[in-house]
Structure 1
Amino acid sequence: MTIHHAMVLAAGLGTRMRPITETMPKPLVKVAGKALIDYALDHLQQAGVTTAVVNLHHFADQMQAHLKSRDHPRIILSDEQAALMNSGGGLAKGIRLLPTGPILVMNADLFWIGEAAGNKTNLQRLADFFDPARMDMAMLCVSLARTTGHNGKVDFQMAEDGRLTRYQPGDSHGVVYAGAIAMHSSLLDDAPEEAFNLNIYFDRAIARGRLYGLELEGHWLTVGTPEAIGEAEDEMRRQGVIPANGNL
């Protein structure tokens, strides 16, 4: 199925990206000449998303000015300038601005490269994979070997059918959460009004056997520190996404 609505989590302070984020929000940091937020929004647009909520806090005025330049997807702003809501609180607040139904969720500091031309995109595959009758959430996941900029932590053990549990040392098929989710917005109908971490809902879904993962096609890049910018660009050059001495 095509999922037409999404949220991008973009309100964090970007403390690990300092000193860059002392003058700008992390989602506007450029990799190969393109802002991180635009990689996320482009992934969503390519998957068929027509409307995306983006939450704002750190240097919100810069984010607003930048997002005005986009026509697709249509952007709705979720204002967190008064108080940061953490990942779960920010998502619960933001999706109230969308119609009830299936949504895609993406973090704003990551993207991927190397999807095969002519195939469905990773987010289209994730939307097709998501089955609300069996799943609370379907996560895009990636093996550690196909990551750049990651801290080396493995998040989940993936069963043959895609069911996820928390990773334990020695598990046979450990994967990294790739920062993208398909879910139904009603999952957060019981969410608290205050800030909370989305991991609460991950663990609830695991307890019910309803957290599933789909492996990403290609290579995953996360950009959380100044050093990670160059690492991401180097990987993009290795894979031929950008010229040896240039930007996109």
Structure 2
Amino acid sequence: MTIKHAMVLAAGLGTRMRPITETMPKPLVTVAGKALIDYALDHLQQAGITTAVVNLHHFAEKMQAHLEKRDHPRILFSDEQAALMNSGGGLAKGIKLLPTGPLLVMNADLFWIGETAGEKTNLQRLSDFFDPARMDMAMLCVPLERTTGHNGKVDFQMAEDGRLTRYQPGDSKGVVYAGAIAMHSSLLDDAPDDAFNLNIYFDRAIAKGRLFGLDLKGHWLTVGTPEAIGEAEAEMQRQGVYPALTGA
């Protein structure tokens, strides 16, 4: 499936990243010389996304000034300065700025390395995998051993066909949610107007057998604390990754 629109969830306070986030928003924290949000936007750009909504709250003016320097994808801003909307509320509000249709959703504090040049990117694979006739959502997932900076929690059990259920100790294929989703915007037509957690829709989809996962190719990095910056950079050095500063 061709997907041209996306949203990046970027409005959080970044409390675990303090004291860095006392003067800047977490998505502008740099890893290997590039802001976290630019890793996410570069992934989206490489997947063919033309327009991305980014929600703003913490140091919103700094976020907007940074993102206005980008040419691709085109950035639209969803203003949450009056009140944080949590993951679900922020997504439901932000996607109203986009046409109805399929979209990608990414968190702003993670990225991955190790995709194979010349092959489809992880987000292109996710877009192709997403089948709205069978799925409410399709999400990138990754085994715990291919993560850096994660807290060790396993989120889902993945069946052979990719169907996801909540992980229980002893399950054979536990995976971590890698912070990227393909979905259709109409899924949130019944969403409340106030703040809520997107996990509500994960659990609804599981109950209907309509939450699916796709294995991420490469290594996944999440950067939620000051210590995680060095951990991510060390892993990038181990893998010989020297990112181009396309979004800086």
- TM-score strictly above 0.5: yes
Alignment of 1:5-20 (within 5 A): 5-20=5-20
Q: In structure 2, what is the Cα distance between the partners aligned to 1:241 and 1:15? A: 28
* Residue in 2 that maps onto 1:115: 115
Q: In structure 1, what is the Cα distance between the partners aligned to 2:69 and 2:97? A: 21
Secondary structure in 2 matching 1:237? helix
* Residue in 2 that maps onto 1:32: 32
AA partner of residue 119 (structure 1): E
CA-CA distance at 1:32 after TM superposition: 0.2
AA partner of residue 63 (structure 2): M
Q: Is the 8 A contact 1:2 1:47 kept in 2?
A: no
CA-CA distance at 1:222 after TM superposition: 0.0
Q: Is the 8 A contact 1:3 1:102 kept in 2?
A: yes
Structure 1 runs not aligned, ≥5 long? none
Q: What does the per-residue CA deviation read over 1:188-227, in whole Å, with 9 as the maximum and x for residues that have no partner?
A: 0000000000000000000000000000000000000000
Secondary structure in 2 matching 1:91? helix
Structure 2 runs not aligned, ≥5 long? none
* Residue in 2 that maps onto 1:172: 172
TM-score normalised to structure 1 length: 0.98
Q: Is the 8 A contact 1:137 1:181 kept in 2?
A: yes
AA partner of residue 201 (structure 1): Y
Alignment of 1:197-236 (within 5 A): 197-236=197-236
* Residue in 1 that maps onto 2:69: 69
Secondary structure in 1 matching 2:39? helix
* Residue in 2 that maps onto 1:144: 144
* Residue in 2 that maps onto 1:88: 88
CA-CA distance at 1:27 after TM superposition: 0.2
AA partner of residue 185 (structure 1): S
Secondary structure in 1 matching 2:241? coil
AA partner of residue 187 (structure 1): L
CA-CA distance at 1:175 after TM superposition: 0.1
TM-score normalised to structure 2 length: 0.98
CA-CA distance at 1:162 after TM superposition: 0.0
CA-CA distance at 1:2 after TM superposition: 2.0
CA-CA distance at 1:242 after TM superposition: 2.6
AA partner of residue 126 (structure 2): L
* Residue in 1 that maps onto 2:239: 239
Q: In structure 2, what is the Cα distance between the partners aligned to 1:23 and 1:161? A: 45
Q: CA RMSD in A?
A: 0.9
